[in-house]
Amino acid sequence: MWARHLSREVLLAVVEGGGDVPDREHVERCDRCRRDVDALRATLAAVRDVEVPEPSPLFWDHLSARISQSIADEEAPASAARTVGVPAWRSGLWLTGVATAVALAVMVTWQPADRSTLATLSVPNGEAGWAAEATAVEQGDTGWEFLVNLAVVAEEESWGELVGGVQPGMADRALQALSDAERTALIGLLEIEMRQPSS
């Protein structure tokens, strides 16, 4: 019977192959400490036995390349980072975006000058709608005139993107955004325009 057993620090030292001679002798004679040491050794052996799977031999090359690249990327001048990969055509997109926003706002809020000629015609298709814009300008309508001026101000290519990108169904969607009264007024204007003899 042993009055005192080994402390955890000494137990650990013995488990790892160290410890003083008296401590190792104690373990040989003390059942409890020996059981502790055996259990800790078995656990450590089981843990130690687990290997890290060896990655592909190519992985090490790849890892080095990734690290080298990430450092190079980080060291690249910020100005270069800003410009690299930005297509030139995107530089004018802000103008197109502003033009689009303004155009849609005008189309939605535009009030026809003459509300007396309401009609019940069906909604014209997109092509007819764009034709009506030019007509309205000829009639002195300031809203449509503003739109056309925008088209002149914007670069031809940008305007083409604006129109070409959303053209299918654009007029229909814009008309759907109008109130019933606004839509009816617009149709009336179109009807008047279409009745005029072509020049």
Partner 1 sequence: MEEAGGLAATWPGLEPAHAARPEAGRGPVRDHESHDGVETSPGLEHLDDVTLVDAVRSGRREAFDLLVVRHRRAVYQVCYRFTGNHEDASDLSQEVFLRAYRGLTSFKGSAAFATWLYRIAVNACLSRSAGQKPQADVLDPDRHVDTAHVAADVALARSRMAARVRAAVAQLPRKQRATVILRVYHDLPHEQIAKVLGSSVGAVKANFFHAVRNLRRLLGEAEN
Q: In this structure, what are the phi and psi dihedrals at residue 28, rounded to the nearest 5 degrees?
A: -65, -30
> Per-residue contact track with partner 1, 22 to 41, x per CB under 8 A?
-----------------xx-
Q: How far is CA 115 from CA 119, 138, 182, 192, in A?
A: 10, 18, 9, 12
Q: How far is CA 68 from CA 76, 97, 124, in A?
A: 12, 39, 61
* Measured distance CA(155)–CA(122) in Å, rounded: 33
Interacting positions 40-79 with partner 1 (CB under 8 A): 40, 42-44, 46-55, 59-61, 63-68, 70-71, 74
Q: Is 18 in the site for partner 1 (CB under 8 A)?
A: no
> Per-residue contact track with partner 1, 84 to 123, x per CB under 8 A?
----------------------------------------
Give the CB-side neighbour count of residue 168, counting CA atoms within 13 A: 0
Among the residue ranges 10-18, 85-93, 95-103, 138-146, the one whose residues contact partner 1 (CB under 8 A): 10-18
Q: Between 30 and 192, whose beta carbon lies closer to partner 1?
A: 30
Question: How many residues bind to partner 1 according to rule CB under 8 A?
Answer: 32
Q: Between 67 and 98, whose beta carbon lies closer to partner 1?
A: 67
Closest distance of CB 5 from partner 1, Å? 14
Which DSSP state fits 139? T
Task: Name the one residue in this structure whose structure tokens are 């192959």.
Answer: 17
Q: Between 44 and 119, whose beta carbon lies closer to partner 1?
A: 44
Nearest to 144 by CA among 112, 114, 169: 112
Measured in whole angstroms, the distance separating CA 165 from the mean position of its chain's CA atoms is 20
Q: Which residues bind partner 1 (CB under 8 A)?
A: 8-9, 11-12, 15, 39-40, 42-44, 46-55, 59-61, 63-68, 70-71, 74
